[in-house]
């Protein structure tokens, strides 16, 4: 009786040899999908290590179609395995890999919400109604936005599990309280929570001027009277940051990523013959923080396609010209040569800027309410909304779209700006008109 025929991708007899260096080498034969024989090998300090290396080598030899898959049983195990490849994906079909900070965000959602609530549940038992109940609980206990984040991460996890063959969900029949249903990814069949409507936030020049007055003049005196000694909030930084955000429409972490070489000045002759200095800013980076690298400048905004030159209005030109004039290069502490740095000359963290604005809101909530500004809505993102509203109302939604770096006018209209009634030419002119005199 002949030997039983080996299955495709199955290792034959494994032999071990010991090299002069003491390294153990494992060898075997394996057949691929075309019937061709391969003789892979693997090495390690022990036979177990050599065998593991041999199996990995065999997987490469016979192709991924025959490579064995490790069975994943629970949601927690699935999350652990998915996170390992979510960022370092060697699939040549994927043109743009997820950024490290994105994967850090996924890991945070998994650690805070998914594993504590569903980590021990076998993935084959995650039915649509069970997943939907999980999301309802999170929406009630946390927030609608958190529930949607959990839904997004779990959906990506289960898509990957199906692709890898960890469990058979495509076309499977699952029993629910509503009867038997055919599902693919059970998470995708759940209901996405309706998030609150967009709050349109519009600031006029008088409101902005008063806010800057509170920051520059009232806050220092009030803080000094209350705390005669101790560290002072950086009032000037907050005022400058507001002006730059209004002038460039950048996201919260983008102004602190503006480098010395990202600002260009041009002398422009006015109709009356006078010359004014105008600034162009390259929106080409953002500051991010990851577990592995800490704080660093990412060489693109939120998306690569959003890189753009922005001609800024006069009030932002004034701030940028001062930053450029006072800039001192420091390759050791500030290798990217950003303009906005800490007292020690290092790049700023967006969270510190955000905390500074929150301190101001807490201190001046009654004053802000008195001028028609809800302190809760005064954020750097809301300033971006104010820019979009001002530009779209006076220069058109197309100009607002380009200024904000959106790929589609629908994004600008849906989240930031309302349909304009009057069309003019450029965003900088529109901002100069709407916010004239705020830096006075």
Q: Kindly indicate the confidence band of residue 411, based on its pLDDT and cuts at 50, 70 and 90.
A: very low
Residue 175 pairs in a beta bridge with: 180
- List pLDDT tens digits, range 20-52: 888 999 999 988 777 788 899 999 999 999 998
- Flag whether pLDDT at 167 surpasses 70: no
**pLDDT at site 73:** 78
pLDDT at residue 155 is higher than 90: yes
| 407 and 309 part of one domain | yes
| Residue 54, domain extent | 15-62
Is residue 438's pLDDT more than 70? yes
Q: Are residues 54 and 159 in the same domain?
A: no
Question: Is residue 147's pLDDT more than 50?
Answer: yes
Q: Are residues 401 and 319 in the same domain?
A: yes
Q: From CA 313, how far away is CA 308, in angstroms rounded?
A: 16
The average pLDDT across 405-432 equals 47
Give pLDDT, residue 218: 95
Within a domain: 68: no
227-241, 269-283, 414-428: which range is least confident on average?
A: 414-428
What is the CATH classification number for the domain harbouring 210? 1.10.443.10
Same domain, 135 and 280: no
Structural domains counted in the chain: 3
Q: Return d(Cα 113, Cα 134) in angstroms, integer.
A: 10
Does residue 137 fall inside a structural domain?
A: yes
Nearby residues of 343 by Cβ (< 8 Å), 6 or more positions away? none
Q: Which two tokens stand for residue 424?
A: 């003019």
Q: Are 216 and 137 members of one domain?
A: no
Asked if 399 and 286 sit in the same domain, the reply is: yes
Best-predicted range by mean pLDDT among 140-149, 153-162, 193-202? 140-149
Domain membership flag for residue 430: yes
Residues 169 and 225 in one domain: no
In a shared domain, residues 291 and 371:
yes
Residue 183 has pLDDT above 70, yes or no: no
Residue 283 domain-assigned (yes or no): yes
Residue 200 lies in a domain: no
Average pLDDT over residues 80-105: 80
Q: Name the residue among 433, 388, 367 with its Cα closest to residue 210.
A: 367
Parallel, antiparallel, or unpaired for β 263-269 and 179-183? unpaired
227 assigned to some structural domain: yes
Burial class of residue 356, CB neighbours in 10 A (0-12, 13-18, 19+)? middle
Instruction: Examine the fold and report which residue of 153, 183, 213 is the final residue of a domain before the chain moves on.
Output: 183
Angle at 67 between CA 122 and CA 17, to 5 degrees: 115
């Amino acid at each position: 009786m002949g030997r039983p025929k080996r299955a495709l991708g199955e290792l034959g007899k494994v032999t071990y040899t010991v090299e002069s260096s003491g390294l153990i080498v494992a060898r075997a034969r394996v057949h691929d999908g075309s019937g061709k024989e391969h003789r892979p090998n693997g090495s390690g300090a022990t036979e177990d290590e050599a065998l593991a290396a041999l199996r990995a080598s065999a997987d490469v030899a016979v192709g991924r179609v025959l490579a064995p898959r490790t069975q994943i049983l629970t949601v927690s195990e699935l999350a652990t395995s998915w996170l390992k490849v979510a960022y370092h994906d060697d699939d040549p079909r994927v043109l743009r890999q997820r950024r490290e900070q994105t994967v850090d965000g996924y890991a945070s959602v998994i650690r805070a919400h998914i594993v504590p609530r569903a980590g021990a549940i076998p993935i084959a038992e995650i039915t649509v109604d069970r997943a939907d109940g999980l999301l309802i609980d999170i929406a009630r206990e946390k927030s609608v936005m958190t529930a949607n984040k959990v839904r997004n991460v779990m959906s990506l996890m289960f898509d990957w599990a199906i692709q890898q063959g960890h469990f058979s969900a495509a076309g499977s029949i699952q029993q629910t309280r509503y009867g038997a249903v055919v599902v693919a990814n059970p998470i995708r069949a759940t209901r996405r929570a309706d998030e609150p409507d967009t709050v349109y936030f519009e600031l006029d020049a008088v409101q902005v001027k008063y806010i800057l007055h509170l920051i520059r003049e009232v806050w220092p005196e009030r803080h000094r009277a209350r705390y005669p000694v101790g560290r002072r909030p950086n009032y000037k930084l907050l005022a400058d940051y507001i002006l730059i955000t209004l002038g460039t429409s950048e996201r919260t972490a983008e102004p602190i990523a503006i480098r010395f070489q990202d600002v260009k000045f041009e002398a422009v002759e006015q109709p009356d013959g006078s010359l004014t200095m105008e600034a162009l800013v390259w929106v080409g980076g953002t500051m991010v923080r990851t577990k592995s690298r800490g704080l660093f400048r990412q060489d693109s905004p939120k998306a690569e396609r959003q890189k753009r030159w922005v001609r800024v209005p006069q009030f932002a030109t004034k701030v940028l010209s001062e930053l450029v004039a006072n800039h001192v290069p420091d390759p050791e502490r500030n290798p990217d040569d950003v303009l906005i740095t800490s007292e020690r000359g290092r790049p700023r963290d967006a969270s510190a800027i955000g905390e500074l604005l929150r301190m101001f809101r807490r201190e001046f909530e009654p004053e802000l309410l008195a001028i028609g500004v809800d302190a809760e809505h005064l954020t750097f993102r809301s300033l971006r909304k104010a820019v979009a509203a001002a530009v779209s109302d006076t220069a058109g939604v197309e100009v607002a779209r380009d200024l904000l770096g959106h790929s589609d006018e629908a994004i600008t209209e849906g989240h930031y700006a309302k349909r304009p009634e009057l069309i003019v030419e450029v965003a900088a002119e529109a901002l100069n008109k709407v916010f004239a005199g705020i830096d006075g």
